[in-house]
C-alpha cells in the first residue's frame, strides 16, 4: 500500500497524468487547460509534459469542443473534455444529449464513444450565476450517458482513470468546493468499480445518502447526530447513472429510515429518483417516509445568499429529527 496525501484537485491531476501515460490515445481539450492548467489548475503541467498535440487549448465554443471530440473518438482517440464551469455546458447540450449519447445505439454498437466530459459543479465557492450550478439530473436522465461524481481525493484519482477507460461517454461531475480538500490516495489499490455506491460510515438508526460535495456534509451531520444519540449510516452514491442500489437498500433495510441530501434543486432530481426507487424496493422495511434535503427550486442566488440556498448540516439534522419522530 502506497499512500499519498493530496488535495482533490491534485489527485485528479495525478489520475489524468496516469491515464495519459498509460494510453497514447488519451488527449485533453478545453478552454485555458494548456499553459494555464485550467481555472482550477486540474490540468496543470500536462501540456508542458505531453505537448500541445495531446493537451489542446480550444476556442470558447463548447458545442464545437464536444463535436470535435466526437469526431476524434470515431478516429480512435479517447478525448477528455473540460467544461470550465457547470453553467457553461449548456451551449454543448445538444451535442451531448442528441449526438454523443445516441451514436453508439444509432450504429448498433459498431461505433463507440470513449469520451469523458469533466464538469466542475456545485456551490460554496462564492461565485456568480452560471458558476455554481448542479446540472447532473439533465445528464442522468439521458439514456446513453454514464454520470459519476467522486467525493474524495482517492475516488477522484481512480474514478477519472476508470471513466477514461470506459468505451461509453462519461459525464464526470467534479464537486468544485472540494478541490482543496485533502485526503489519502492509495495509488496501488485495486480500483473500486466505477458504478458502485459505498457505505462510508456505519450506523444503526438512519441512513444518510448523497453524492459529490454533499457526502462531506452528511458525514459532518452524522458526527453531530452521534453526539445527540442518533447513529447515522452514510452512503456515497458515487455513480448517478447507473445507480448501484445494493448498498443503499441494504442500509435502509437495516435502519428503516433514509434522508437524501444534494446541492441540486429538489424537483425532478437525482435525489427524487433514488428516493422513489427506495420507496418502491424497500417499502416494508421503512419506519418513516424517505425525506429529501436539497437546494431550493429557484435560480442560484447571489453568492452572499448561497449559505441559505444550499443544504448544510443543520438542515440535514432537521430532516433526521423529523424522520426519527415517526
The residues annotated with a catalytic role in the active site are 131
CA–CA distance, 93 with 117 (Å, rounded to integer)? 12
| Kind plus residue range of the DSSP H or E element containing 66 | helix 62-74
Per DSSP, 125 falls in state: S
Helix (H, G, I), strand (E, B) or coil at 235: strand
What is each CA distance from 130 to 24, 133, 151, 237, in whole angstroms? 34, 6, 22, 25
320 near 259, Cβ under 8 Å? yes
Per DSSP, 288 falls in state: S
| Kind plus residue range of the DSSP H or E element containing 80 | strand 78-82
CA–CA distance, 135 with 232 (Å, rounded to integer)? 28
Proportion of the chain in helix, strand, coil states, percent, rounded to 5: 40, 20, 40
CA–CA distance, 115 with 113 (Å, rounded to integer)? 6
Amino acid at each position: 500500500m502506497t499512500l499519498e496525501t493530496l488535495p482533490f484537485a491534485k489527485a485528479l491531476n495525478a489520475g489524468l497524468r496516469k491515464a495519459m501515460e498509460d494510453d497514447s490515445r488519451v488527449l485533453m481539450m478545453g478552454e485555458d487547460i494548456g499553459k494555464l492548467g485550467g481555472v482550477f489548475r486540474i490540468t496543470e503541467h500536462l501540456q508542458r509534459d505531453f505537448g500541445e498535440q495531446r493537451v489542446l487549448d480550444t476556442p470558447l465554443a463548447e458545442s464545437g469542443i464536444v463535436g470535435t471530440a466526437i469526431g476524434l473518438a470515431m478516429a480512435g482517440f479517447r478525448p477528455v473534455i473540460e467544461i470550465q464551469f457547470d453553467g457553461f455546458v449548456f451551449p454543448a447540450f445538444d451535442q451531448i444529449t442528441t449526438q454523443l449519447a445516441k451514436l453508439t445505439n444509432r450504429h448498433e454498437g459498431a461505433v463507440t464513444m470513449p469520451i469523458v466530459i469533466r464538469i466542475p459543479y456545485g456551490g460554496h465557492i462564492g461565485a456568480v450565476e452560471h458558476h455554481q450550478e448542479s446540472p447532473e439530473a439533465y445528464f442522468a436522465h439521458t439514456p446513453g450517458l454514464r454520470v459519476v461524481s467522486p467525493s474524495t481525493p482517492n475516488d477522484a484519482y481512480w474514478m477519472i482513470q476508470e471513466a477514461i477507460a470506459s468505451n461509453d461517454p462519461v459525464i464526470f461531475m467534479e464537486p468544485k468546493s472540494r478541490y482543496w480538500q485533502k485526503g489519502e490516495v492509495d495509488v496501488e489499490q485495486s480500483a473500486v468499480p466505477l458504478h458502485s455506491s459505498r457505505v462510508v460510515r456505519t450506523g444503526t438508526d438512519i441512513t444518510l445518502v448523497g453524492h459529490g460535495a454533499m457526502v462531506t456534509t452528511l458525514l459532518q451531520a452524522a458526527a453531530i447526530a452521534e453526539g445527540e444519540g442518533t447513529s447515522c449510516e452514510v452512503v456515497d452514491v458515487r455513480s448517478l447513472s447507473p445507480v448501484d442500489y445494493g448498498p443503499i437498500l441494504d442500509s435502509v433495510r437495516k435502519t428503516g429510515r433514509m434522508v437524501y441530501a444534494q446541492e441540486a434543486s429538489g424537483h425532478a432530481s437525482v435525489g427524487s429518483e433514488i428516493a422513489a426507487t427506495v420507496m418502491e424496493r424497500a417499502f416494508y422495511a421503512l419506519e418513516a417516509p424517505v425525506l429529501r434535503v436539497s437546494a431550493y427550486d429557484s435560480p442560484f442566488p447571489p453568492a452572499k445568499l448561497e449559505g441559505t440556498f444550499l443544504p448544510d448540516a443543520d438542515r440535514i439534522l432537521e430532516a433526521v429529527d423529523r424522520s426519527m419522530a415517526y
